[in-house]
Structure 1
Amino acid sequence: MWDRRSILRAAGVMAAAAPLLGGTASASPGDADALFKAGKFEQAGRAYEEILRNDPRNVHAASQRGYVGLLANRFADAEKYLKIAVDLAPGDKAIHRFLADCYTRQDKFAAAAPHWRAADEESYAKVSEAIGPEPYRINGDIGRAPWSALDPMALMPVSLNGGSPKSFAFYTRIGPMNISAAAAREAGLHAVAEEEYEYLGKIRRAYAGILSSFRLGDIELCNVPVRWPEVDDGPGPDGMIGTWVLYHFLSTIDYAGRSLILRRRTPETARQARVDAGSEPLPLWLAREQLTFSKGSFAGSGPKVIGLHLGGIGSNVAGMWEGTAKQLRIRTDHDRPEETSAGGQAIVVHPCYPNEIRLGTATAKGAYSVASVRNLHDGHGFDVLGDLAHSFFKPYRVTLDFVDMMVHIARGAAGSRS
C-alpha cells in the first residue's frame, strides 16, 4: 500500500481525461462554472467574485473562488474564501478538505487538523496533531540523488533516521511520503494513526507516523509525515517521495541526467531555474493535495489542462480517456487491450498513437500512449485533456516551482550549478 488514492501500479497507465474540445470554449464570460471547467481559472475567479458581490452568502461561489486560489497556491485568497464557505456550510466535507489542504501546504498542521477531521480524514487529522512545531524542517541548501535505475521506475539512495541507504522512487500522484513496512520497522517508526483501505477488492491496513530524519544527498528534511502498509505487497522500492515533499523545494526531476535535485527555494535559485530552462515557463496548478497540472496539447488540440505524472512506472508517454482519443481522431488499437490497475481498481486500456504530444517546447511524435475505457480523471471540476507519464520526460529536465507556480522544462541534463 503506497497511498489509498494512488497505488504504485497505477503509475504507468493512470491516464483518465475528460474531453476538452468544443462546448466550454464558447461559454459566456459571465458563466463562472463554464470558465472554471474550461481551465480558465483566473477568469473564473473574477466571475465568482462578481457573484459574491451580488450574493455574499453564495456558498458555491465562495468555495469555488477559494479553490481557484488553492490551485495556484495563493494561500491568502484561498483561506479568505474557503473560511467564508465553511462558515456558510459547516457540514460540507469537500470545503473542509480544501481548507485542510490549504493549511497543510503551508505547514500549518494544527490549523489543518480539525478540517481534516470534519472531512472524515481521521488519519490525516491525527498526523497533523502529532507532527509538532517544526514540520518539514530543512537542513542544507541542495541535495542531489543520482538514480541507480530508470526503468521500470527511477530509483535513488536515501537515508531514513540515519540508517543505511534505502532505494526510493518518487511520484507526483501521491501526497505524503510512503515507505515499506520493512523500512518503517528498521527506522523505528511509531504509528500515530491507522486506517483500512481497499486495493483490488481486498481490505488492507495502513499506518501513519512522523519520520524524524530523511536525507537525500546533502539535504536533510526533518519531521516528515509518512505512511506505510501493515504488510508489504511483494518486492518493490523501500519507499516513494510524494508531492508533499517536492513542494517544499525547488524540485528538479532531471530525467536526462538521471537524478533528483532538491534546492531551497530562494529568489536566486528560482531565477536560475528560469535561465537554465531557456524557454517561457508554463503554468503549474496543484489539485487534490498532490496532483500537478500544467497546459499541453495532444494531436493539435491546442493548449489544455494536462496532468503531469512525474515518476512512477510505465512505457507509455501519455494517457487519456478513449472519448478524447476518438474526438481527436487518434489512432487507437482496440484489438490489443491491456489489463492493469489504477488507484487500486482494475482498468482496461488500449494502445494509441497521437501524432504529437506537446508540453511547451517538449514533444513526443507518434509515441505509444494509452486510452482508458473508463474516464478516470473527472473528479476535479475542470476538464483534463490527459496525462503525461514517466516515459514522456526521459529526454528532459523538469523543474517545479511551487511558489511562483511555474513549470520549467528543457532538453538535456541539468548543469553543475543546479
Structure 2
Amino acid sequence: MADDRRWDRRSLLRGAAALAGAAATVPLTGGATKALADGGDADALFKAGKFEQAGRAYEEILKKDPGNLHAARLRGYVGLLGNRFADAEKYLKMALALAPDDKDANHFLADCYIRQDKFGLSAPHWKAAGEDGYAKWFAAVRGEAYQVHGDTARVPWTQLDPLPLVEASVNGGPAKRFTFYTGAPSLSLRASVAKEAGLSPVASQQIGFEGGTVWAYYGILESFKLGGLELRNVPVGWSATESGEDVGTDSDGLIGTWVFYHLLTTFDYAGRQLILRRPTPESARKARAAATRAGAERLPLWLAREQYLHSVGSFAGVTGSRTGVVGVNLGGGSEIAAGTRGTTAEQLGIRTDHDRQIGTFAQSHPAVVYPCYPKEIRLGNAVAKEVYCYTNPNQPVNVPWPFGTGFDTMGWFSHCFWKPYTITVDFTDMSLYIACGEAA
C-alpha cells in the first residue's frame, strides 16, 4: 500500500491509495529558535517524535521569549497531536495573536475546532489557511454534527481483499458497499450515490487527479447507518469527473478517520468485523479491559494532519533495528504488510529487490517503489518476520509541513499486517490496543 498516510485528503476517490513518492523538501516553518531540554533542542525532539519533551522545550522558549511565533505554533501542534484541545487552543491562539495571517497556525486551529465539532469556529481559520472549500463546507454545518444514535454495532465485512467492504445505509436507502480507511478524512460517497441520496453541495472545487482533473463536492448527510448504530448530520464529500461520472467503482463510498474518532472503534481483522461503540467512559473502560485480557499492551496514539494515525513501532534489517514513530493505516487495500522510507531501508540493511521496480501513484502523482523484506516489523506485541513490504528510495523520513507531518516516521503499517489481529483505536485517551485473534 502506499504511504497512504499522506494520501491527498481531497482525493477521496478510491478505497486504497498508492505508495507515496518523493515529497517536496521545504523548511518545517520559518525562524526556528532552539532551546535545550532533556538533552536535545526543541525542534530535534519534535522531529524525533519525542512530543512530550518537545512540548516542554517549547514552553521554556516561550517563558524567555513570549513573542516567539515558531515556538507557540509548534507547542500548539504538539497539543493537537494528542487531542489535548485546551493546550492546542492556548498556544495556537498565542501564535495567531503574534501573526494573525499565519497559515500553519490557522490550519492547526481549524483542525483543532473540527475535532471538537466546533465547525463554525473552524471556518474562518480554514479560509485564512487557504482552504476555501473547507471554510464554506464547515460554515454550512448547522446544529449538532455526528449525532450518535444507538450504543453498539457489530458490522460484518462482506469482503476482505482487495478492499475490506461493509454495508451501510445512506439517508435510509438500501444497503451500499463501503470500504474504510484511516488515511482518508471524511465520509465520502460515489457521485451517483450522492445523487441518489438527494445531496446538494454546499461547496465545490476542482482538483488534479492522476494526470487529469475532477470535481470535489462537499455537503451534509442526514443519516448514515452502520448495523444498529446511526450517525446523523454528517459532513460528507463526493467526487465526479468533468462530465459528472463516478470516479472509481470499487465501492459506493469510503468511511474515513473523522467518522471513527467520533466512535470507539475496534477493527476486528481476525473476526472480519467492525465493532462500533458510543464513546462513553464506561464503553472505553470495557474496551480497554477486554483488550488487556486479550494480551494487548497500551500503545500511544497521535493524530496528525486531520486524519493520519501514528504510534510507536519498529523495523529491523540485516544491520540493525530501530524503534520510532510509524504510521498506522487501518483499512484501505494492499498486498504489503508495511512500507518503509528509503533511508530506513538503507540504514537498517533491509533486503530490497531493486530489479523489480513497481510503478504506482502517490497523492495522484507517479511514484516508483521496490519490494523489500524486513527481518522483522513490530507494533507492541504484533509482529511479522520477513514479510513482503515496499520501500521508496526517494522518500525521506521527515516530510516537512505543509507537505507532511513535520516529524520523522520510519514507515507505516498497512492492511495485510493487521489480518491476524484485533485493533482498538481509543480516541478518548489517545491509545491503541492490538490483540492477537478475534474479538471476544
Match of 2:378 among 358, 362, 377: 358
State the SS of the aligned residue for 1:336: coil
Q: Which residue of 1 aligns with 2:33?
A: none
State how far apart, in whole Å, the 2-side matches of 1:44 and 1:350 are.
Answer: 34
Matched, 1:404 2:429: yes
Q: CA deviation at 1:15?
A: 8.4
Greater alpha carbon shift after TM alignment, 221-230 vs 67-76: 221-230
Residue pairs, 1:4-403, within 5 angstroms: 4=10, 8=14, 11=17, 13-14=19-20, 29-230=39-240, 231-278=245-292, 279-299=296-316, 301-375=321-395, 378=399, 379-403=404-428
Q: CA RMSD in A?
A: 2.0
State the SS of the aligned residue for 1:392: helix
State how far apart, in whole Å, the 2-side matches of 1:30 and 1:340 are.
Answer: 38
State the SS of the aligned residue for 1:153: coil
Q: Which residue of 2 aligns with 1:23?
A: none
Greater alpha carbon shift after TM alignment, 370-379 vs 401-410: 370-379
> What percent of counterpart residues are identical?
56
CA offsets 1:278-310 (integer angstroms, 9 cap, x no match): 232100000000000000000053420000011
State how far apart, in whole Å, the 1-side matches of 2:205 and 2:212 are.
Answer: 14
Q: CA deviation at 1:61?
A: 0.4
Letter in 2 for 1:11: A
Contact 2:183–2:257 (CA under 8 A) maintained in structure 1: yes
State the SS of the aligned residue for 1:212: strand
Q: CA deviation at 1:2?
A: 8.8
State the SS of the aligned residue for 1:311: coil
Contact 1:10–1:344 (CA under 8 A) maintained in structure 2: no
State the SS of the aligned residue for 1:316: coil
Letter in 1 for 2:82: A
State the SS of the aligned residue for 1:303: strand
Letter in 2 for 1:260: L
Contact 1:7–1:342 (CA under 8 A) maintained in structure 2: no
Greater alpha carbon shift after TM alignment, 41-50 vs 258-267: 258-267
Change (3 A) 1:43 1:2: closer
In the alignment, structure 1 segments of 5+ residues that lack a partner are: 19-25
CA offsets 1:370-403 (integer angstroms, 9 cap, x no match): 0013317612111001000000000001111112
TM-score, structure 2 normalization: 0.89
Change (3 A) 1:382 1:27: farther
Q: CA deviation at 1:8?
A: 2.9
Change (3 A) 1:107 1:129: same
Q: CA deviation at 1:414?
A: 1.0
In the alignment, structure 2 segments of 5+ residues that lack a partner are: 1-6, 25-35
Change (3 A) 1:291 1:236: same
Change (3 A) 1:28 1:42: closer
